[in-house]
Amino acid sequence: MNTSTPRILFLAFLLVLLACTVSCDEIQDDIIEVGLLQIHPVQPVQTVPTLGEDSIQQTVWTILEASIQFPEISYDLALSGDCLFQQSYISLSTGSGECMLGAAVAVSPTPTTGVLTFTVEMDASRVQQVDISSGGDLDGDGVLNEDDNCPLVTNPGQETVVDVFEEEIGEACAFDTSGGVGDPVYFLDNELDEIPDIADNCPFHPNPTQENTPDPSLPAGLPSDGIGDACTESAAVSVSGQTTFSLDVDVDPYVQERRRMLLVLDFGSDLSGMSCNWVAGSCDLDPASIRSCVLNDRLSAASGCP
């Protein structure tokens, strides 16, 4: 490169700065626009899993670096803050984050297709499963799991009480929250740690202190995963053996209002493309389950790719 080029660029920058102090309105397309990409993950279907299902209950993915390649030029996208998303199947309030990817983009004046390449790290975790499948008798009380009103507590007599929701539950696994004052107030507490199942972060693992240490790699402010330390099982996710992959995105910055676009990346919101071997501590995500689209506004981005 000609050694005078930086000096010329610097002088040009000063001139733009000077012109801007006079009248910014007169400078429009002559200055380089900053193109912004915002990644907004598709909200997963909010379901609370039935314990015992081999379901993944939380996935965290982190965008480490990203670049976008247009036919004639490519940009490294600067990450603004933590480009990290959390998808939880445990809490009804699904956690998700936003990541803004920015670059000084001298955008092409014609609609074009860019290739977004990014590196992502993913981790999945779930509540450690307890085998209460049909045909077994986990507590050895002679009542098969599927018929047992307290599958973790030996209660061959199957005595019942009526809980706070007016449902019949096993007396042997009912926790009276009244503290002995007045009538009993029963909640189901399967493993008898005195934390009712509905509030227990490990419903089938005794953990009266409910410890749930935040993952130190996660920034503060992300919703808790809702999985107690006593029953957390984690696995790293591979995208078919790679962490970097490319997606085609139709990018038409000039037709976007204020030259912004929202890029939606959907890492398989129902996680049907994810298969985990929890014993080995690894999961595989089929790249075919990842979708992307560019949308005009936040509202349409929140509802996901068409």
Residue with smaller CB distance to Ca ion, 137 or 233: 137
Of 143, 72, 113, whose CA–CA distance to 248 is shortest? 113
Supply the minimum distance, in Å, between the C-beta of residue 202 and Ca ion: 4
In angstroms, the Cα distances linking 191 to 183, 186, 200, 211, 281 are 23, 14, 10, 16, 26
Task: Report d(CA 13, CA 21) in Å as an integer.
Answer: 13
Supply the minimum distance, in Å, between the C-beta of residue 141 and Ca ion: 4
163 binds Ca ion (CB under 5 A): no
Site string for Ca ion, 3-42 (x = CB under 5 A): ----------------------------------------
Stretch of 55-63, 178-186, 200-208, 235-243 contacting Ca ion, by CB under 5 A: 200-208
Residues 98-137 that bind Ca ion (CB under 5 A): 137
Angle at 271 between CA 268 and CA 275, to 5 degrees: 120
Pick the binder of Ca ion from 141, 176, 215, 284 (CB under 5 A): 141
Supply the minimum distance, in Å, between the C-beta of residue 173 and Ca ion: 8
Facing residues of 79 across strands?
A: 101
Angle at 33 between CA 32 and CA 34, to 5 degrees: 120
Task: Report d(CA 89, CA 247) in Å as an integer.
Answer: 26
Supply the minimum distance, in Å, between the C-beta of residue 192 and Ca ion: 7
**Count of residues in contact with Ca ion, rule CB under 5 A:** 13
150 binds Ca ion (CB under 5 A): yes
Pick the binder of Ca ion from 86, 87, 155, 232 (CB under 5 A): 155
148 binds Ca ion (CB under 5 A): yes
Supply the minimum distance, in Å, between the C-beta of residue 91 and Ca ion: 16
Interface positions with Ca ion (CB under 5 A): 137, 139, 141, 143, 148, 150, 155, 189, 193, 195, 200, 202, 207
